[in-house]
Amino acid sequence: MIRVAILGATGYTARELIQLLLRHGEVEITAITTRQEDQPDLGSVHPQLAGRLDLPLENLSLEQVAERADCVFSCLPHAASAESVDQILTAGLRVIDFSADFRLHDAAVYEKWYGVDHRAPGRLAEAVYGLPEFFREDIRGAQLVANPGCHPTTAVLAVAPLLKAGLVAADDIIIDSKTGVSGGGRTPQPVFHFPECNESIAPYAVGNHRHTPEIDQVLSDVGGQATQVVFTPHLVPMDRGILATIYARPVGNASENDMMAQLRQQYAAEPFVRVVDHLPATKNTTDTNFCDVSVRVVRGRVLLMSSLDNLIKGASGAAVQNFNLMYGFDETTGLL
Amino acid sequence: MIRVAILGATGYTARELIQLLLRHGEVEITAITTRQEDQPDLGSVHPQLAGRLDLPLENLSLEQVAERADCVFSCLPHAASAESVDQILTAGLRVIDFSADFRLHDAAVYEKWYGVDHRAPGRLAEAVYGLPEFFREDIRGAQLVANPGCHPTTAVLAVAPLLKAGLVAADDIIIDSKTGVSGGGRTPQPVFHFPECNESIAPYAVGNHRHTPEIDQVLSDVGGQATQVVFTPHLVPMDRGILATIYARPVGNASENDMMAQLRQQYAAEPFVRVVDHLPATKNTTDTNFCDVSVRVVRGRVLLMSSLDNLIKGASGAAVQNFNLMYGFDETTGLL
Amino acid sequence: MIRVAILGATGYTARELIQLLLRHGEVEITAITTRQEDQPDLGSVHPQLAGRLDLPLENLSLEQVAERADCVFSCLPHAASAESVDQILTAGLRVIDFSADFRLHDAAVYEKWYGVDHRAPGRLAEAVYGLPEFFREDIRGAQLVANPGCHPTTAVLAVAPLLKAGLVAADDIIIDSKTGVSGGGRTPQPVFHFPECNESIAPYAVGNHRHTPEIDQVLSDVGGQATQVVFTPHLVPMDRGILATIYARPVGNASENDMMAQLRQQYAAEPFVRVVDHLPATKNTTDTNFCDVSVRVVRGRVLLMSSLDNLIKGASGAAVQNFNLMYGFDETTGLL
Amino acid sequence: MIRVAILGATGYTARELIQLLLRHGEVEITAITTRQEDQPDLGSVHPQLAGRLDLPLENLSLEQVAERADCVFSCLPHAASAESVDQILTAGLRVIDFSADFRLHDAAVYEKWYGVDHRAPGRLAEAVYGLPEFFREDIRGAQLVANPGCHPTTAVLAVAPLLKAGLVAADDIIIDSKTGVSGGGRTPQPVFHFPECNESIAPYAVGNHRHTPEIDQVLSDVGGQATQVVFTPHLVPMDRGILATIYARPVGNASENDMMAQLRQQYAAEPFVRVVDHLPATKNTTDTNFCDVSVRVVRGRVLLMSSLDNLIKGASGAAVQNFNLMYGFDETTGLL
């Protein structure tokens, strides 16, 4: 039994994480923390979890957390997370961080896109980017795993294999991404007010979404050459799910079949990436840890499509997958 | 041309009202006011209205409003509205008030259900309840019309004819009402946050919804005997529309056909109530000023169904219908 | 390992059942059948299940099914199911039937409401109604379990405890039920066409829904006196979930607190019924086997509210719960 | 008063058209036809229109239509429409055709993409493409107007001005389009079954959508050089609205401001195209005849965004706008 603590347990990713961990079998949740509220009942914060976990939400110090847990899932917002994670690592625990604080190699890039100073730049070198499909071995031994962003995972799983194989050009990648509203978190805002976003689709954060440098970095790492993408997210009137439609320029003479074959080869042994013949739809991956990918060639342009559940494979499911790797459990434990 | 001002023009009912008035032909909108914001552009507050009305949102005094307009639509929240309306009436204008401040005859009942002192109780006696189907003649001559609540209009239009005709009992009326989310207004709140209310239906304000005494009063007035209803509203994951399902106990031997006939007779000359054979669905009345009603008898219980658009027949359309009556225009002007 | 077969595996309840059974641990799915299609791939029928189960959809004879399985889940439509179930029982297997064919004690009532002859009336006496909260011991030993309808489970779990305890009258029960669209099954029809039912709420099958006699029967059995309800279902624009709002007349002087206490006492040991203080919302029970119930007293009327997921606690989850009872597994196996 | 007939009046575009024409003031609807059904009541086919139009749905011959009307709106499906339109033109009436039959200049292109022979190729030369923003003068005098497709109008209104001005390249245009479900018509199909398409987003018809050659043609005509686009439509879980996100390559040194200025100049006098500073959202154009467009430059790529209501500006509103031009009415009559 691994004892785990969840920091910042009032949001959607924490709710999903608790549901997955309750099904895991090898985990004991020993602490769930909040800074915002005065120790409310978990069932009143997450009515779906009423009666599921007999543990109070607490405003614990990191020392208290360190005494109770072996591993920490941090669902704190960026900046706040870096500070807490630094101390928890110092106390000797292993950490899976949901925030963006340890995803980018370069603190300067982080500070430019997130507009805040990095509070633990000394930890960046040891952080491992938690995308098992490309960094599995590093994850196994990591003390600190930076759990990927939801848009980056969706896009990268589709385009990285072709980029790595040299079948598409690194300098002409357009990612048109569509996400459900839970991706915006739990804080009420006009843009997420039901009568505003229901029955509507719209782009947002055009040209300045913070997942942009993360996608650039991972594709550069995997593909072996500097890559900058055009990334446009859209808000879709549904709870959960991301679909990325990706336009790339082919290199060489690979056919659509060759590209499908490349995807299949890349993911032959992967438990959670399905290379599908049909066109992906977010519904097929809702409430699962699967990512469905496919590829078409249209008028000389490569068109990749990828779908996943932003709260599972795009967040909490990926975290559990990373956890399984870190502790030597079967990678699918709690996830099927 | 009647010059009209709209107080509190940043909400959903004001947006719908402006759209209807722009189509009216006999109205000039001369002032749109806000207290909350610093004279923003109308198109930035209501992007749907971009380019439609060349008039700034202004923080006007009531004196300024009185100079510019003949008639005022007050979309202010309750309590705030009473105070403004009182002064506007004193200045000699006519008023259609969207708030609940002048709907209830008795200030004590108002104060009990709304939890605030009534700020202009002296005006209650002159206020006319703006339900044309039952108070048309009074509305024509009114200085102050209290525009009805959305749930009351939905329920009353279905049950009042049978109550008035003595076909159902006054002491056993259950109203199970279902409303779209725009009924909750424009202010972001957890309960209206998309990932909370989407894909869910739930009751709210059980036993204490403020429309309860309003329904009681109108049914008592129309039916001629004291009536108290059980009223349960529910929030439905859709933008607009209300469906009321009403359960009443029959009096006498009237059949389902007799009851349908009674409804048809009551509404034979009404431009905006349709007695339909099929089961009402909110979609059939969306974006219209119609209310569809029907009746069934099931196992000895009378079952009435009624649907309308909460922002049109339940608010801004009703206001324009009242306006047309007050100024002698054809009652349907701007509404078809 | 219990070997199970699923008859009629192309619909929504079968899809949910497969997902639950894949997580069960003590079950081997050995056959999934279809009559409609020519042995398609499971992943093409249910893309969500792609890669999850290495078993073809087959058009098997009941003899073949009997060779492969110990227990059969029949997801066949009514009438078709009765015929198949009869033969499977004769072959010595145990059966959990999702159809309505064995829910009603009286073939004449069945034939009246369903409009078809009953094809295996001789089996009615041995069928056990699969609502564990009230018929647990009978289910343990049953050869044939009739899995309950989704509306009946929702309503009965709320009102039965108070009826049984004599706190509400049997002759004045109104059930206003609201269901998501998956309850209508998988066959495209105008009423379930997205642009028709989205953004709309409407009653359907008023006065003649087939779940009516089932609710009557179960409440009569549990309450000990003949009971006839007024039952009105409504279609809500969401995928899944049922909310029942139930209006009953109190007997005696029990307070709201007394009624809550009665519910808590009834369900103290139940793993899947949560008596909640807050107002139930379908979202809190989506994708779970829980049913949330609560009670209020409003103006002398008892108001019960109940929510569950129509495809889980209202169908496939209930079936697995019954299966667990029949085979001596922990009742929650595969369901948390 | 112009007497108009509507052929194929049972679909969504006909319903919207009738609503608009009832508000027009200079039109008398004299015939509404159907081939499919036996003269049903209009209110039973379109419950939203109950009581609005006292005219039966009839299975009329084209001779009968020609006697009753001056102008025909054909809402017939492609192929069927060509045949009828040909005869109606011969009878001397003017026609606005909603189908694709007269949109493409070249019958061979039509036959390739639509998979049927063209039934009236001799009429192609006289057909005018009904996009007022680019072909206004031709529309005024036309006997036959081919009303544009919804995706083409959305995309073309955004990209054509920049293409025409030489600010973007003709050989690198990607159109990622997102449409509500009403775009798929009224016939129930699995892909439009609520539980299939709700809470999901997915691409469809990748590489082979029939609007592709139409977009190619119009952009080629307007831009003055042969243009082939990559066009990918997606289905969004909402009733109506299209958002196109368009990626193009800049030519020369025009800045984002220059491109906005070009759009504003192009549309300065247009009543129904709004060049907006904010990011377009479909909700802002729902139930209106407006198209909102804007442009951004992101990492050296031009990103155009465009939204409209697929049933209004993308179909029936455009048809009325064309009608107004053809008959010399103010272009906005019935549309504001």
Residue A61 C-alpha from the chain's centroid: 26
Chains that touch C (3 or more CB pairs under 8 A): A, B, D
How many Å lie between the alpha carbon of C70 and the closest alpha carbon of chain A? 24
Residues D95-111: tens digit of each pLDDT: 999 999 999 999 999 99
| Sign, Cα dihedral of D64, D69, D70, D71 | negative
Chains that touch A (3 or more CB pairs under 8 A): B, C, D
Degrees to nearest 5, angle at CA C116 with C113 and C118: 100
Confidence (pLDDT) at B37: 60
How many Å lie between the alpha carbon of C75 and the closest alpha carbon of chain D? 18
Half-sphere exposure in the Cβ direction for B9 (13 Å, CA): 32
SS3 A215: helix
Per-residue b or e along C217-242, where b marks 16 or more CB atoms closer than 10 Å to that residue's CB: bbbbbbbeeebbbbbbbbbbbbbbbb
Asked if C195's CB is within 8 angstroms of D182's CB, the reply is yes
Residues C263-310: tens digit of each pLDDT: 999 999 999 999 999 999 999 999 999 999 999 999 999 999 999 999
**Measured between CB atoms, which of C188, C238, C240 is closest to D193?**
C188
DSSP C167-231: -EEEEEEEEEEEE-GGGG-SS--GGGBHHHHTT--EE-STTT-THHHHHHHHHHHHHSS----EE
Asked if D296's CB is within 8 angstroms of A199's CB, the reply is no
Residues A35-83: tens digit of each pLDDT: 876 767 899 999 999 999 999 999 999 999 999 999 999 999 999 999 9
Mean pLDDT of chain D: 97
Residues A285-316: tens digit of each pLDDT: 999 999 999 999 999 999 999 999 999 999 99
Closest to D222 (Cα-Cα) out of D295, D293, D136, D100? D136
The total of other beta-carbon atoms located within 10 Å of residue B172's CB is 20
Instruction: Give percent above pLDDT 90 in chain C.
Output: 98
**Euclidean distance between CA atoms C2 and C94, whole angstroms:** 11
Please answer whether residues D80 and D58 qualify as being in contact, where contact means their C-beta atoms are separated by less than 8 angstroms. Answer: no
Mean pLDDT of A181-204: 97
Residues C111-128: tens digit of each pLDDT: 999 999 999 999 999 999
**Measured between CB atoms, which of C203, C247, C283 is closest to B199?**
C283
CATH class in words for B151-309: alpha beta
Confidence (pLDDT) at B36: 75
**Euclidean distance between CA atoms B77 and B83, whole angstroms:** 11
**Euclidean distance between CA atoms C118 and C132, whole angstroms:** 25
Chain A residues in contact with C292 by the CB 8 A cut-off are 47, 50
Chain D residues within 8 A (CB-CB) of chain B? 22-23, 44, 47-48, 50-52, 199, 274, 276, 278, 281, 283-288, 290, 292, 336
Residue in chain C closest to A283 (alpha carbons) equals C48
Interface mutation vs chain C, best among A15, A49, A284, most C CBs within 10 Å: A284
Pairing of strands C242-250, C168-179: antiparallel
Chain D residues in contact with C239 by the CB 8 A cut-off are 194-195, 198-199
Has this prediction a pTM greater than 0.95? yes
Closest to B217 (Cα-Cα) out of B305, B126, B107, B137? B107
Name the maximum alpha-carbon separation found in chain C: 62
**Euclidean distance between CA atoms D195 and B10, whole angstroms:** 36
- Beta-sheet strand order (sheet of D273-275): D202-203, D230-235, D168-179, D242-250, D301-308, D291-298, D273-275
What are the catalytic residues of D? 150
Residues C149-171: tens digit of each pLDDT: 999 999 999 999 999 999 999 99
Chain C residues in contact with A292 by the CB 8 A cut-off are 47, 50
Q: How confident is the model at residue C35 (pLDDT cuts 50, 70, 90)?
A: confident
Chains that touch D (3 or more CB pairs under 8 A): A, B, C
Asked if C234's CB is within 8 angstroms of B206's CB, the reply is no
Chain D residues in contact with C309 by the CB 8 A cut-off are none
Architecture of domain B2-126: 3-Layer(aba) Sandwich (3.40)
| Residue given tokens 């995807």 in the structure block | A263
Chain B residues in contact with C286 by the CB 8 A cut-off are 199-200
**Tokens describing residue B32:** 């749109």
Q: How confident is the model at residue D37 (pLDDT cuts 50, 70, 90)?
A: low
What are the catalytic residues of C? 150
Interface mutation vs chain A, best among B194, B239, B287, most A CBs within 10 Å: B194
Which residues are CB-neighbours of B140 under 8 A, at least 6 positions away?
B325, B326, B328
Asked if C298's CB is within 8 angstroms of B207's CB, the reply is yes
Degrees to nearest 5, angle at CA D257 with D254 and D261: 95
**Tokens describing residue A162:** 């072709």
Residues D146-173: tens digit of each pLDDT: 999 999 999 999 999 999 999 999 999 9
Asked if C243's CB is within 8 angstroms of B202's CB, the reply is yes
Task: Tell me how many residue pairs between chain B and chain D have CB atoms under 8 A apart.
Answer: 45
Mean pLDDT of D130-137: 98
**Measured between CB atoms, which of B23, B281, B284 is closest to D336?**
B23
Residue in chain A closest to D209 (alpha carbons) equals A298
Closest to B318 (Cα-Cα) out of B3, B9, B20, B10? B20
Confidence (pLDDT) at C37: 60
Which residues are CB-neighbours of B228 under 8 A, at least 6 positions away?
B171, B216, C299
Confidence (pLDDT) at A36: 75
Kindly state the DSSP code that residue A26 receives in the 8-state scheme.
Answer: S
Residue in chain B closest to A194 (alpha carbons) equals B194
Chain D residues within 8 A (CB-CB) of chain A? 174, 176, 178, 180, 196-204, 206-207, 228, 230, 232, 234, 236-241, 243, 245, 247, 279-284, 286, 296-299, 301, 303, 305, 307
| Helical H segments across chain D, by residue range | 12-22, 42-45, 62-68, 80-90, 107-114, 132-140, 150-164, 194-197, 211-223, 256-266, 317-327
Interface mutation vs chain B, best among C200, C206, C238, C286, most B CBs within 10 Å: C200
| Residue given tokens 């831009």 in the structure block | D223
> For residue A297, which phi and psi values (nearest 5 degrees)?
-110, 120
| Sign, Cα dihedral of C71, C76, C82, C83 | negative
Indicate where chain A has its CATH 3.30.360.10 domain(s).
151-309
**Measured between CB atoms, which of A199, A274, A286 is closest to C51?**
A274
Mean pLDDT of C132-159: 98
Asked if B241's CB is within 8 angstroms of C207's CB, the reply is no
**Measured between CB atoms, which of A48, A276, A287 is closest to C50?**
A276
Please answer whether residues C154 and C291 qualify as being in contact, where contact means their C-beta atoms are separated by less than 8 angstroms. Answer: yes
Low-confidence ranges of chain B (pLDDT < 50): none
Mean pLDDT of chain A: 97
Chain B residues within 8 A (CB-CB) of chain D? 22-23, 44, 47-48, 50-52, 199, 274, 276, 278, 281, 283-288, 290, 292, 336
**Measured between CB atoms, which of A178, A282, A299 is closest to D230?**
A299
Q: What is the ipTM of this complex?
A: 0.97
What are the catalytic residues of A? 150
Asked if C48's CB is within 8 angstroms of A292's CB, the reply is no
Asked if B239's CB is within 8 angstroms of A198's CB, the reply is yes
Asked if D176's CB is within 8 angstroms of A200's CB, the reply is no
Chain D residues in contact with A284 by the CB 8 A cut-off are 200
HEC letters along chain B: CEEEEEECCCCHHHHHHHHHHHCCCCEEEEEEECCCCCCCCHHHHCHHHCCCCCCCEECCCHHHHHHHCCEEEECCCCCHHHHHHHHHHHCCCEEEECCCCCCCCCHHHHHHHHCCCCCCHHHHHHCEECCHHHHHHHHHCCCEEECCCHHHHHHHHHHHHHHHCCCEEEEEEEEEEEECHHHHCCCCCHHHEHHHHCCCCEECCCCCCCHHHHHHHHHHHHHCCCCCCEEEEEECCCCCCEEEEEEEEECCCCCHHHHHHHHHHHHCCCCCEEECCCCCCHHHHCCCCCEEEEEEEECCEEEEEEEECCCHHHHHHHHHHHHHHHHCCCCCCCCC
Q: C42 to each of A275, A279, C50, D228, D324, how far by Cα in Å? A: 16, 16, 7, 38, 54
Asked if C285's CB is within 8 angstroms of A48's CB, the reply is yes
Mean pLDDT of C18-25: 97
Indicate where chain B has its CATH 3.40.50.720 domain(s).
2-126
| Helical H segments across chain A, by residue range | 12-22, 42-45, 62-68, 80-90, 107-114, 132-140, 150-164, 194-197, 211-223, 256-267, 317-326
Please answer whether residues B287 and B266 qualify as being in contact, where contact means their C-beta atoms are separated by less than 8 angstroms. Answer: no
**Measured between CB atoms, which of A193, A237, A240 is closest to B188?**
A193
Mean pLDDT of D218-243: 98
Confidence (pLDDT) at B261: 98
Q: How confident is the model at residue D40 (pLDDT cuts 50, 70, 90)?
A: confident
- Residue D274: enclosing H or E segment and its boundaries? strand D273-275
**Euclidean distance between CA atoms D305 and D293, whole angstroms:** 6
Residue A166 C-alpha from the chain's centroid: 25
| Residue given tokens 């219908």 in the structure block | B321
Which residues are CB-neighbours of A9 under 8 A, at least 6 positions away?
A15, A18, A32, A33, A34, A42, A45, A57, A75
One of 3.20.20.100, 3.30.360.10, 3.40.50.300, 3.90.640.10 is the CATH number of D151-310, namely: 3.30.360.10
**Measured between CB atoms, which of B236, B298, B301 is closest to C201?**
B236
Chain B residues in contact with C206 by the CB 8 A cut-off are 279, 296, 298, 303, 305
Q: B128 to each of B94, B120, B138, B211, C242, how far by Cα in Å? A: 12, 15, 7, 17, 41
Asked if D230's CB is within 8 angstroms of A247's CB, the reply is yes
Interface mutation vs chain B, best among D181, D284, D308, most B CBs within 10 Å: D284
